[in-house]
Structure 1
Amino acid sequence: MTDTRTPGSPALVRGPVLPRALRVTAWLSFIAEVVIIGTGGAVRLTGSGLGCSEWPLCTPESLVPILEIQGVHGAIEFGNRTMTGVVGLLALAVLMLTLYAVSGRRSVVRAVWFALGGVVVAIGVYAAASALALPAAALMSAVLLLAVLAGAVDSVRQDLRRRDLAVLAWLVLVGVMAQAVMGGFTVISDLNPFIIGFHYASSLLLVCVTALFLVRMNQPQDARVATVPRWFAILSHVTGVVLAVTIAMGVLTTGSGPHSGDAAITRDGFDATALAHVHSWPGYLLAALVLVLTISAWALRLPPRGWLLVLILAILVQVAVGVLQARTGLPPVLLGIHMVLAALSAAAYTVVVTRLRRPAEG
């Protein structure tokens, strides 16, 4: 670790050299987080939300779908559950590689001990809950999640050379585990549209966190200074709020429309046509704000200009897809593209925000 100082300036913490394996795995984790939004969208848009009627099993008797009975819907739903496993393994790999890179073997061993302790306790809870006719799978999952949270708290309190990377890696793993539990609640609740909406929003946040991890890998952990005028930073954060509102309204609109995951499932009770119009208002405002930021950044040659160009292109495609799907009766393919583009837009915005400040030079 290099600590460079100049008179009157804070320390510049360059941190450890990160291994190539971590960089590759981090990119795979980001890609997987985007892909699972696509597979989750496929579950909902093909009416396969109850393709697996149980959780964590697919049927009362089987972990995997019985194709002769459940058909393609069971396969689609189980495919998304399998993707959750892939996302979780990648998040775990990123965490272990990060801990080893920033603190060495000791942090990895401590994390493993927390994991083993959680597994042992979870097995005991599962056995006791089964004997008492309680929801054993849900209680076991809760214990495992608590064990991971305890491990995360213990880990970030250690002397880590890159605590920022460790915190982000833990957030992804905790988020993935919580998402798996949330997925179970969507099935148990017969695809409650509000739970599904929260499930999607949480997945989108994980895309943003993995994107932030990719950015922070290439930056030192140190004091940061502004690279843009104050008005530009304020307008950028206002744009983030409008982006969040746009996505939230999109989630409500989808929940009130024809693609609720299963033909027999009750929607959220809102008027889909009215919501579609309301959803478009912040969408157009978002496009205008990002356009202003992009033009300003290029005119003033500000650091975020490259990623703002990416963001404005993504937003404009989003607007075009939204208009097209509204005029063509909400075809599932376009709606799926809309969902994935929203996640990528949020990830691009995350990178833009990281360009508003830069590491203080030593």
Structure 2
Amino acid sequence: MKRSVRFPVSATLLRRLALASIIANVAIVVTGGAVRLTASGLGCPTWPRCTDDSYTTTAEMGVHGVIEFGNRLLTFAVGIIALAVVLAVLAHRPRRRGTLPLAVGVLFGIPAQAVLGGITVLTDLNPWVVGLHFLASMAVIAAAYALWRRVQEPDGPVTPTVPAPLRTLAWITTAVSASVLVVGTWVTGSGPHAGDHGAARNGLDPAAISQVHADGVFLLIGLSVAMYFAFRAVGAARAARAAAVLIAVELGQGVIGFVQYFTNLPALLVGAHMLGSCLVLLATLGALRATRERLPAAPEAPAAPAAQRVGAAA
């Protein structure tokens, strides 16, 4: 006899946990930005311990030690949520195909991202490593978003909602969005917010690399506007709405970016810009995912009655 699941998890609870995982991973990006923007990047000067003799901060380390150690503790909270999502996926019935690899990927991505964070400390906040640490967080957020969307879908076949050329346009827009995030880390590595007063910079000219970043943003907005009108032209209302959300997020992020640049990068605006980067990523993935949908699986044909099968054989 097939054993039943003792603690079944509802679809609603699974969706909420998956959404909580997205929010938690975005939050730790923002708090990680706060560490850097308060010059607390070396508040704990080593890793995995906070000092050579202690895993926790000490009174002598002051507020910078508290901020850095607090961010490290948040990693455990994010990991607990990710573990809860994995257990919920295992307990949910019927389990959606592909959800378990995504949930496990998010779970293992968190310690991997933490190790990169430790390497940033051990390399005295090398700006290239700091940038990679941020991009690793973006990858985990992307996986968490994919899981959240997948648990809301049926297990049927994937069907495009727009013609193939427009799906290609959506993929190009996603690639440009990713490149803007990468170049954004170069801009950060050339700017004044090193995370510690003694940390090195990447040596790039801040004005020049900021212009490259701005050019990428203009291209991204142009592609997003093109997507919106193209989706509307083919009657893909859901995809057009997703593109409109992406444009709105990009414009808001662009305004923050320009204001922070011309006001000498105040820490509060830089932190808001980091949050905006996460939102741009999520909106981009939303627009890409709107170019397809997963239909319910076709019901299985009922088995023929035994008498009918005997008659057919005769």
- TM-score, normalising length: structure 2: 0.88
CA offsets 1:118-172 (integer angstroms, 9 cap, x no match): xxxxxxxxxxxxxxxxxxxxxxxxxxxxxxxxxxxxxxxxxxx433110110110
* Residues 1:84 and 2:75 are matched in the alignment: yes
* Residues 1:32 and 2:24 are matched in the alignment: yes
Q: Is the 8 A contact 2:9 2:91 kept in 1?
A: no
SS in 1 for 2:81: helix
* Residues 1:210 and 2:144 are matched in the alignment: yes
Q: Which amino acid aligns with 2:139?
A: L
Q: Which amino acid aligns with 1:86?
A: A
Instruction: Please tell me whether Structure 1 or Structure 2 has the larger radius of gyration of its CA atoms.
Output: 2
From 287, 293, 315, the counterpart of 2:250: 315
* Residues 1:200 and 2:192 are matched in the alignment: no
* Residues 1:281 and 2:215 are matched in the alignment: yes
Deviation of 1:263 after TM superposition, in Å, equals: 0.9
* Residues 1:358 and 2:290 are matched in the alignment: no
Equivalent residues, number: 289
- TM-score, normalising length: structure 1: 0.76
Deviation of 1:21 after TM superposition, in Å, equals: 2.9
What is the root-mean-square deviation in Å for CA atoms of aligned residues?
A: 1.6
Distance 1:275 1:89 in 2: 38
Deviation of 1:42 after TM superposition, in Å, equals: 0.6
Q: Which amino acid aligns with 1:270?
A: L
| Unaligned segments of structure 2, at least 5 residues | 1-7, 299-314
Residues 62-73 of structure 1 correspond to what in structure 2 (within 5 A)?
Answer: 62-67=54-59, 69-73=60-64
Deviation of 1:65 after TM superposition, in Å, equals: 1.3
* Residues 1:45 and 2:37 are matched in the alignment: yes
From 274, 283, 292, the counterpart of 1:348: 283
Q: Is the 8 A contact 2:20 2:81 kept in 1?
A: yes
Q: Which amino acid aligns with 1:323?
A: F
Q: Is the 8 A contact 1:164 1:221 kept in 2?
A: no
From 177, 180, 202, the counterpart of 2:111: 177
SS in 2 for 1:225: strand
Residues 230-241 of structure 1 correspond to what in structure 2 (within 5 A)?
Answer: 230-241=164-175
Distance 2:158 2:9 in 1: 20
CA offsets 1:81-103 (integer angstroms, 9 cap, x no match): 11111111100110111112258
Distance 2:185 2:248 in 1: 22
* Residues 1:245 and 2:179 are matched in the alignment: yes
Fraction of identical pairs, as percent: 39
Q: Is the 8 A contact 2:225 2:247 kept in 1?
A: yes
Greater shift, 161-170 or 281-290, is seen at: 161-170
Deviation of 1:298 after TM superposition, in Å, equals: 3.1
Please name the residue that 2:240 is paired with: 305
Deviation of 1:217 after TM superposition, in Å, equals: 1.0
Q: Which amino acid aligns with 1:319?
A: G
Please name the residue that 1:190 is paired with: 124
Deviation of 1:215 after TM superposition, in Å, equals: 1.0
Please name the residue that 2:13 is paired with: 21
Q: Which amino acid aligns with 1:273?
A: A
Q: Which amino acid aligns with 1:195?
A: V
SS in 2 for 1:56: coil
Deviation of 1:204 after TM superposition, in Å, equals: 1.1
Deviation of 1:24 after TM superposition, in Å, equals: 2.1
Q: Is the 8 A contact 1:212 1:351 kept in 2?
A: no
Q: Which amino acid aligns with 2:178?
A: A
CA offsets 1:215-263 (integer angstroms, 9 cap, x no match): 1111012321111012211111111111111111110010111111111
From 97, 101, 106, the counterpart of 2:88: 97
Distance 2:143 2:103 in 1: 9
Q: Is the 8 A contact 2:155 2:295 kept in 1?
A: no
